Amino acid sequence: MLPAMLFTACRNDLQWTGTVNIPSGGWTDEMPVVFELDPQAYLAPESNRFAEMTSRAIGDTLPRLYGHYNARLSLRYSDDCNASSLRIATELASLDRDITTDTIAVTLFNPDGSPVSPGRYGINETSILLPPSFCVTRGTTLTVTPISYSTPIEGLLSVSLILSQ
């Protein structure tokens, strides 16, 4: 019975993942990454000035997306990324709830210059669990923006949002 309980406790039920690729010129505070988890509640994509930096949930997944989730923000970056750590502003908004803001810190490289989560072929990935109050309701969006960088963050390849239960 114990092995079955351990297996159940370690299960990761992935519900949704969205990824936004960062332009080769780098990521700045003028280029927020937006995850729209209920795109039917918004205007047409051409009205969004950040449309190229937006990941939208597909319409047929919406009924099962509503609810509470373990949310993880994942960053993929190259060995030559020019930031050893990032401070990121998050804003969780919906039509049914108040806006929640937070600041998270993500370390990409150890003090010795090695990646915190080394990958293969010079591409690394690290992730951080978002606050436990992550709830998807009508019109939910998560906006992610780097804080206070005078130069673009180069070598950052993508930002992903991963929802699991």
Task: Render pLDDT for 42-76 as a digit per residue (tens, 0 to 9).
Answer: 544 444 444 456 666 655 444 556 788 889 999 99
Q: What is the DSSP string of 101-130?
A: EEEEEEE-B-TTS-BSS--BTTEEEEEEEP
Q: Say which residue, 113 or 14, is predicted with more confidence.
A: 113
Per-residue pLDDT, 115: 92
Average pLDDT over the chain, rounded to an integer: 79
Rounded Cα distance between 39 and 55, Å, is 9
User: Residue 2's Cα: distance from chain center in Å?
Assistant: 34
What is the mean pLDDT of the segment spanning 77-86?
A: 93
Per-residue pLDDT, 41: 55
Q: Range with the lowest mean pLDDT among 7-16, 34-43, 76-85, 141-150? A: 7-16
Secondary structure (3-state) at 160: strand
Structure tokens at 129: 């669990």
CATH no. for 13-164: 2.60.120
User: Residue 50's Cα: distance from chain center in Å?
Assistant: 16
- Give the start-to-end residue ranges of the domains of the chain: 13-164
Rounded Cα distance between 88 and 104, Å, is 5
The per-residue pLDDT for range 149-160, each reduced to its tens digit, is 678 999 999 999
